[in-house]
Homo-oligomer: A and B are copies of this chain.
């Protein structure tokens, strides 16, 4: 890879990906609305408000590929969601079209399907059932990606990221956890293959108590190497069982599905 853009680079996920992708591209262009002070070798930084199309076009120019983690990454006000995730994702794709970038990793989220029951096994055909405005905005992003693929042949990996953390620390995370290594491997894989299409991939490690089926995406050739299995004993000990009727257990989205409207809080 020559020059790769990483949006949302100042966030937790962005920071993890900076580390995990170190040395992969000749230049990793970091971007965020927040300034990143300390740069490593091979990194550069461009501050950018994703709600500003012209700024995004400038940002994208000269990049071979985009890893779009930017925007609001948890529930927020509609104003925040709209600026970061609706405008933001539209601007990324529209800039890619204008500038000629042909392949994008879009950080979608399991919260796009968070209102499915925990006893369901989801794949790329499962109906979208967002558990939050945040989840709705990720669905919008996937539709924008699909539209730019069908009309303008821009390919996307729509990674419905579970929970990218150093390790799973509670029972829900045993199902949703993805190691930083597995996610970075997936990002790299996306750019080493001939055809990507516009493909949904659930971003989870090889966890025993899995909710998600990626077999439709086997052509990509990515397989997670880590597993939550090694953390099960510790988690079972520390996170006590709840009643199966506890609302927080009903849906895959967990607390996102039980929390009321953000603006009421």
By a beta-carbon cutoff of 8 Å, the part of chain A in contact with chain B is: 78, 82, 86-87, 90, 94, 97, 102-103, 115, 117-119, 121, 125, 127-133, 135-136, 139-140, 143-144, 146-147, 150-153, 155, 171, 174-175, 192-197, 199, 207-211, 213, 215-216, 218-223, 232, 236, 241-242, 244-246, 249-250, 257, 260-261, 263
**Distance in angstroms between the alpha carbons of A140 and B97 in the assembled complex:** 21
**Distance in angstroms between the alpha carbons of A112 and B220 in the assembled complex:** 22
Smallest CB-CB separation from A258: which chain B residue? B151
Indicate which residue in B102, B133, B211, B215 contacts A147 across the interface (CB closer than 8 Å): B133
Residues of B close to A153: CB separation below 8 A: 244-245
**Distance in angstroms between the alpha carbons of A70 and B97 in the assembled complex:** 29
- Establish whether residues B209 and A218, one from each chain, have CB atoms under 8 Å apart when the complex forms: yes
**Distance in angstroms between the alpha carbons of A54 and B125 in the assembled complex:** 37
- Establish whether residues B208 and A221, one from each chain, have CB atoms under 8 Å apart when the complex forms: yes
Residues of B close to A155: CB separation below 8 A: 244
- Establish whether residues B140 and A128, one from each chain, have CB atoms under 8 Å apart when the complex forms: no
Residues of B close to A121: CB separation below 8 A: 215-216, 218-219
A251 → B minimal CB distance (Å):
8
Residues of B close to A127: CB separation below 8 A: 125, 146
A74 → B minimal CB distance (Å):
15
Indicate which residue in B136, B193, B197, B260 contacts A143 across the interface (CB closer than 8 Å): B136
Smallest CB-CB separation from A194: which chain B residue? B249
- With contacts A86-B86, A90-B78 known, is A219 near B119, CB below 8 A? yes
Residues of B close to A140: CB separation below 8 A: 86, 136, 139-140, 143
- 27 A–B contacts from the bound complex (CB under 8 Å): A78-B90, A78-B94, A86-B86, A86-B140, A94-B263, A97-B261, A115-B146, A118-B194, A119-B195, A119-B219, A125-B125, A129-B147, A130-B147, A131-B150, A140-B143, A151-B257, A151-B261, A152-B261, A153-B245, A193-B209, A194-B246, A208-B221, A209-B218, A209-B219, A209-B221, A210-B218, A213-B215
